[in-house]
Amino acid sequence: MKTNRHYAMTPAWPGQPSNGLKPDQVGKEGQDYFIQDDRYFDAYARYFRRYVEAYAEAGIPIGTVMPQNEFNSAQPFPSCCWTPAGLARFLPHLGREMEKVGVTLYFGTLERANADLLSRVMRDPAAGPLIRGVGVQWAGKGALPVIGDRHPDLVIWGSEQECGTGTNDWHYARYGWELMKRYLLNGASAWQYWNMVMPTGGMSGWGWPQNALVTVDGPTGTVRFNPDFQVLRHLSHPVRPGARLLPAESFTGFENQLAFRNPDGGVIIVVQNEMAAPQVIRVKVGERLLTARLPADSFNTFVIPGRLL
């Protein structure tokens, strides 16, 4: 009988922790490692509900759950592989329990560039109607255009920014900006960073370095706001909940921007000048023409209040 174990690969580099599994115990993609039995599905679904209820008692409401992070990958850290068919069998059990506590079901997380992994579940008559959104991350970004085309009513979340290598530098912050643009321009309505705070030289629990928005040096008590923080702040500070992405087309070939309309009618424009020299841009918003000189290698946010439009 298969059991719901944790699976991990052997260490990929020196110092990476191992969970001591034997080679024949390591999971393989494309198989179900959760026991496919109704009584276990029911027990696991009740566990989800009790988790939600415990957080609610602590004053932390949970509005959405996903059945499994990176469900089709046997990771070098604790994980549990599912097939789309296995998830489709489990989701009705989970849906019944989440309905009792008013929690929405999202599919996720998808970290393969294969939209069929989602579509096969969406086609299931019992599981598909329960899914209201999908969390996408890592290589899953390659499936974004197909997801939007096949399932236009699904909410899309960028569920995990790729966590970097601990460099916390501008090079990776620029990459994070490109990731955000890719997700938002393909219909994502939420973007979630991975580590909020890490110590200097911070490592994951499974032995590899990670980026963070903020680095705290314990011995000195100092705090560093990293480049990823600065880039994310250009959007998260002025772009309010409920904002809508606006078309931001250029007639001169400049395409390195995002624009949003806030619920109060104001417009937010975030622009990167990736060049090593200053650059002058002109932006038309309604009947207004904004001219700005962007410093070299910079991110810039322009806030146009609704009363001026």
Give the pLDDT band of residue 18 (cuts 50, 70, 90): low
**Strand segments (E) across the chain:** 64-65, 104-110, 131-137, 155-160, 188-191, 197-199, 214-217, 222-225, 244-246, 257-261, 267-273, 279-285, 288-294, 298-304
Share of the chain above pLDDT 70, in %: 93
Between 106 and 206, where is the model more confident? 106
Give the C-alpha separation, 102 to 249, whole Å: 40
Between 125 and 12, where is the model more confident? 125
- Tokens at 259, concatenated: 């624009």
pLDDT exceeds 70 at position 8: no
- Tokens at 64, concatenated: 């959405």
Between 20 and 224, where is the model more confident? 224
Give the C-alpha separation, 259 to 96, whole Å: 39
Tell me, what's the pLDDT at 245? 97
Single out the residue of 157, 156, 236 nearest to residue 196, CA to CA: 236
Single out the residue of 37, 53, 50, 88 nearest to residue 67, CA to CA: 88
Identity of the highest mean pLDDT range in 149-158, 205-214, 250-259: 149-158
Q: What CATH number does the domain located at 23-245 have?
A: 3.20.20.80
Domain-wise residue ranges, the chain? 23-245, 246-309
Tell me, what's the pLDDT at 17? 62
Segment 248-265, tens digit of pLDDT: 887 677 889 999 999 999
Tell me, what's the pLDDT at 19? 65
CB 35 within 8 A of CB 1: yes
pLDDT exceeds 50 at position 188: yes
Give the CATH class of 246-309: mainly beta
CB 185 within 8 A of CB 165: no
Note the pTM of the prediction, 2 decimals: 0.91
Give the C-alpha separation, 250 to 238, whole Å: 22
Residue 68 carries which side chain, given as an amino acid letter? Q
CA dist 101 → 50, 55, 128, 129, 293 (Å): 10, 12, 20, 18, 52
User: Which residues contact residue 64 at a Cβ distance below 8 angstroms, ignoring those fewer than 6 apart?
Assistant: 103, 104, 105, 106, 132, 133
Where do the H-state alpha helices sit in 58-143?
A: 84-100, 116-122
- The predicted model gives 265-278 an average pLDDT of 96
CB 169 within 8 A of CB 191: no
Lowest-pLDDT range, 67-76, 183-192, 209-218, 259-268?
67-76
Segment 82-131, tens digit of pLDDT: 999 999 999 999 999 999 999 999 999 999 999 999 999 999 999 999 99
Segment 24-76, tens digit of pLDDT: 777 889 999 999 999 999 999 999 999 999 999 999 999 999 999 999 898 87
